[in-house]
Amino acid sequence: MATYFGKVTKPFKGSSGELSVEQWNQLCQVFPESAWDTLLAELKKAQASGGATYAKLTLPVLPNAYQGIVGGYEAETVWILNGGASKWTAALPAETAAAVKEMGTKHKFPYVSPSCLSWDPAMVACLANLSTWALLEAAHTISPWLSGGPAAV
């Protein structure tokens, strides 16, 4: 997410090559750097509440020729993450809550890499359920976009 705000602090290293911090930020930044701190503060506040980790922000869009973005307008954004969600965990059956706790100890659930393609079915099921719960918790924020058709977005 930091890339969208020009706030990457480590170079990118992938199978196709490397990008310096400056290159990566230049290629991906579409929101002002100053908005990153606002987003982080909102997400941290949501996570601290024990509820779903999400934030809704209206952000100015910067031009980015690499991304084909003209910029010069504002975009309504919603950022929904698989955060700690202690309220979700508390609502689980005891056996599932124990499994989630073990996943947290073993794999840092729910803060797992989305690029790992070999998670066991229990991990995938818990991540999917947490994601669904987070979307339902944020429904009042995103439902106007979903119900109004393309013009609402």
DSSP3 helix / strand / coil % (the chain, rounded to 5): 50, 15, 30
The encoded tokens of residue 6 equal: 């020009």
Q: Where are the alpha helices (DSSP H) in the chain?
A: 21-28, 33-48, 86-90, 94-107, 121-137, 139-147
Domain assignment present for 146:
yes
pTM of the model as a whole: 0.83
Residue 59 lies in a domain: no
Structural domains of the chain, count: 1
- For residue 45, being part of any structural domain is answered with no
Tokens of 61: 């869009």
Instruction: Report yes or no on 97 lying in a domain.
Output: yes
pLDDT in tens, 4-25: 999 999 998 888 889 999 999 9
Alpha-carbon radius of gyration of the chain: 18
Question: Average pLDDT of the chain?
Answer: 90
Euclidean distance between CA atoms 22 and 10, whole angstroms: 9
Whether 90 is covered by a domain: the verdict is yes
pLDDT tens, residue by residue, 114-124: 777 888 899 99
- In tens, the pLDDT along 67-88 reads 999 999 999 999 999 887 789 9
Are 83 and 127 in contact, with CB atoms under 8 Å apart?
no
Domain of residue 109: give its range.
Answer: 83-153
In a domain, 151, yes or no: yes
Quick: pLDDT tens for 84-96. 778 999 999 999 9
CA dist., res. 6 & res. 90, Å (int): 36
Does residue 53 form part of some domain? Answer: no
The answer to whether residue 67 sits within a structural domain is no
57: pLDDT strictly greater than 60: yes
Is the distance from CB of 103 to CB of 109 less than 8 angstroms? yes
